[in-house]
Chains A and B, each alone.
Chain A
């Protein structure tokens, strides 16, 4: 798995996350995006540029206007990260499985040898 640092930096910024949230449901112009924020248009424009450079957003010229839309395939890199977490949990479950088997074997072994001792150990 390759995690590209620039992508995660891009979405570290709350304004950029808000822009992505806007674009999640619609394809709109830079002006329409800026209308949703208090900041200067140039600031919003810079944010859009960063998102575009990171490949999270792409632009399409339609007539005189440039429309922006989200690129979902890039967003799925987040899912790859979650997959890593899943692997860790699977490994932890394996570990639990082994441990529980070991305990049961130990206790059964103890019972075979000396039931009274085994009972004490189980308390």
Chain B
């Protein structure tokens, strides 16, 4: 029996805003740059072809000046309901479900990882750190560069 080795991560959050607004800030690059890069990161969106099979390229700029390029492809888009995208290097799928609850909106966010890929990524991070004192902060900075 073949079993694909994957890990799933799920986060649910309710926002005090109608689904129209939540959808807007998710799908408009002018909005998304304002919140996508957390904790001192800024983002530059090179391409955001928001349609199925469309490409989404952005670079996150870390507080220390390091750039983290990111590439995703939108796999499925159902307006005000669902966005699925596939991120490359590292490889994972993200599914975002939007559920309207009147003046509030619930977001159900699932990431599906290939665990072998995760390990490879961790190794790369550590190799990049060679010669430097290893610390968690550095790793966290790198991880902040992962989009979803």
Instruction: Enumerate chain A interface residues (CB-CB to B < 8 A).
Output: 1-3, 5, 8-9, 11-12, 17, 21, 78, 81-82, 84-86, 88-101, 103-104
Query: In the complex, which of the residues B9, B21, B113 contacts A103, with contact meaning CB atoms closer than 8 Å?
Result: B21
Query: In the complex, which of the residues A78, A81, A82, A88 contacts B38, with contact meaning CB atoms closer than 8 Å?
Result: A88
Q: Which residue of A lies closest to B11 (CB)?
A: A89
Q: What B residues does A90 contact at CB under 8 A?
A: 11
Q: Are B139 and A3 in contact (CB under 8 A)?
A: yes
Query: In the complex, which of the residues B7, B25, B126 contacts A96, with contact meaning CB atoms closer than 8 Å?
Result: B25
Q: Are A89 and B148 in contact (CB under 8 A)?
A: yes
Q: What B residues does A85 contact at CB under 8 A?
A: 9, 111, 143, 146
What are 21 A-to-B residue pairs whose CB atoms are below 8 Å?
Answer: A1-B136, A5-B126, A5-B134, A8-B119, A8-B122, A12-B119, A12-B123, A78-B115, A78-B119, A82-B113, A86-B11, A89-B9, A89-B11, A92-B38, A93-B109, A95-B38, A97-B16, A100-B15, A100-B17, A100-B22, A100-B25
Instruction: Enumerate chain B interface residues (CB-CB to A < 8 A).
Output: 5, 7, 9, 11, 13, 15-17, 21-22, 25, 31, 34-36, 38-39, 107, 109, 111, 113, 115-116, 118-120, 122-123, 126, 134, 136, 139-140, 143-144, 146, 148
Interface secondary structure of B, over-half rule: mixed
Q: How far is the CA of A100 from the CA of B17 in the complex (A)?
A: 7
- Tell me, rounded to whole Å, the shortest Cβ–Cβ distance linking A63 to chain B: 31
Q: What A residues does B113 contact at CB under 8 A?
A: 82
Q: How far is the CA of A17 from the CA of B22 in the complex (A)?
A: 41
A89-B109, A99-B25 known, 14 other contacts, Cβ within 8 Å: A3-B139, A5-B123, A8-B119, A12-B123, A81-B122, A86-B9, A86-B11, A88-B38, A90-B11, A92-B35, A94-B38, A95-B35, A97-B15, A98-B35
